[in-house]
Amino acid sequence: MREALAQVRQDLGGGAVILGTREVRRRRLFGLGTRELIEVTAANSQTEAPAAAPSVPVMKMASSTFTSTGSVLPGALHAQFGEQLSRLHAMVEDLSKQGRIDHLLPELPSELVPIYAQLLEAEVPEVLARRLVREVAERLEPDEAARPEAVRDALRAAVESCISIAPPIGAVPGARRVVALVGPTGVGKTTTVAKLAANFKLAQGFRPGLVTVDTYRIAAVEQLRIYAEIISLPLAVANAPGEMTRAVEELGDVDLVLIDTAGRSPRDEVKIRELADFLAAAQPDEVHLVLSAVAGERSLRSAVERFAHVKADRLILTKLDEADGLGGVLALLGQADRPVSYLTTGQAVPDDIEPADRRRLARLILGDEVVA
């Protein structure tokens, strides 16, 4: 109570008139026990109408810690985070107007409202956003909740824990590594094959070769042939699963075989089975499922489920530059238990590709970093 009264004096000045006090016990966020608050209603004697001071929570767990719901950031912190906080504040107001967060606010400590808003802004589904905020609340020490940078670090850590990373393609000079890219139509498989091939050849000195089994689309083979010519790589075409072994042999002395496949709708089980036959013949060491970050959470999940039949166990996320929010990707990664091997960030071959990095992906998802 002494601390609460000191806070009232600080907020409203020495002439403050105490109108009432009471002890309140509140459920903590998501049922994490209770916390005790002291609510002081006070009026500034200078004002005409009585003004209610904010409820002043005193955390019993650490009675030395004192948090005011109406606290003001110290100068240095304000300079650093002030602008960002105003932006988040505006965002919270918007979301509140849309009725998207009101149901949560009574339970949500005010310090965590900005990160909840940030997650919704990044298109993270509400159920996952709530889970992450709960995790943040659990990660924070009592005295950290009032420090915006500690809250943000805890959020990043919670997001990072949803992401698992696969190592880049494990090619070894002199040995032959066979790698296939599969995925829905138009996600960027052919472009990514070209980026990988160019980087392995130009930057790392490997001898890659390309195989295409994309014989459905007119010009699909041509698209890869043009890349093969520009990068000076051997290219072989397999029109049927039975031609796969011959196609790989045709490439000659290469240490990385990159197989480009036709885009398959995840709903087309016949074509997915056919793809499985091609891959069974190729015996790839790695199968990467290429997914566009622009796609919604449901289609991402169904692609992962359907392409599990061809043993696609790593993900390449494309078009990060085009996605407005990566919350759907985060939801997928949190559930699908598939590591991410590469990220692609534009149409340019060979530049717009990078090995996946957990910290970078978390920052991109949270909007703390943009695609360069």
Ligand X SMILES: Nc1nc2c(ncn2[C@@H]2O[C@H](COP(=O)(O)OP(=O)(O)OP(=O)(O)O)[C@@H](O)[C@H]2O)c(=O)[nH]1
Residues of this chain that interact with ligand X (CB under 6 A) are: 185-191, 214, 217, 220, 262-263, 318-319, 321-322, 344-347, 352
* Minimal distance, residue 250 CB to ligand X, in Å: 21
Residue 319 contact partner, candidates Mg ion, ligand X, none, CB within 5 to 8 A by sort of partner: ligand X
* Minimal distance, residue 364 CB to ligand X, in Å: 13
Tally Cβ neighbours within 10 Å of residue 207.
18
How far are the Cα atoms of 89, 90, 325, 358, 364 from residue 83, in angstroms, in the given order? Answer: 10, 11, 21, 27, 20
Round to whole Å and give the CA distance between 319 and 186: 11
Q: What are phi and psi of 57, to 5 degrees?
A: -75, 135
Nearer to Mg ion, 222 or 305 (CB): 222
Q: Give the CB-nearest residue to ligand X.
A: 263
Q: Does 190 contact Mg ion by CB under 5 A?
A: yes
Nearer to ligand X, 130 or 319 (CB): 319
Which one, of 169, 175, 350, lies nearest residue 254 by Cα?
A: 175
Nearer to ligand X, 320 or 333 (CB): 320
Residue 286 contact partner, candidates Mg ion, ligand X, none, CB within 5 to 8 A by sort of partner: none
The b-or-e profile of 287-316 (16+ CB within 10 A means b, else e) is: bbbbbbbbbebebbbebbebbeebebbbbb
* Minimal distance, residue 261 CB to Mg ion, in Å: 8
* Minimal distance, residue 272 CB to ligand X, in Å: 13
Residue 187 contact partner, candidates Mg ion, ligand X, none, CB within 5 to 8 A by sort of partner: ligand X
Q: Is 247 left (phi over 0), alpha (psi -120 to 50) or beta?
A: alpha
* Minimal distance, residue 186 CB to Mg ion, in Å: 8
Q: Give the CB-nearest residue to Mg ion.
A: 190
Round to whole Å and give the CA distance between 59 and 364: 34
Q: How many residues belong to the chain?
A: 372
Round to whole Å and give the CA distance between 300 and 283: 25
Nearer to Mg ion, 189 or 288 (CB): 189
Contacts to Mg ion by CB under 5 A: 189-190
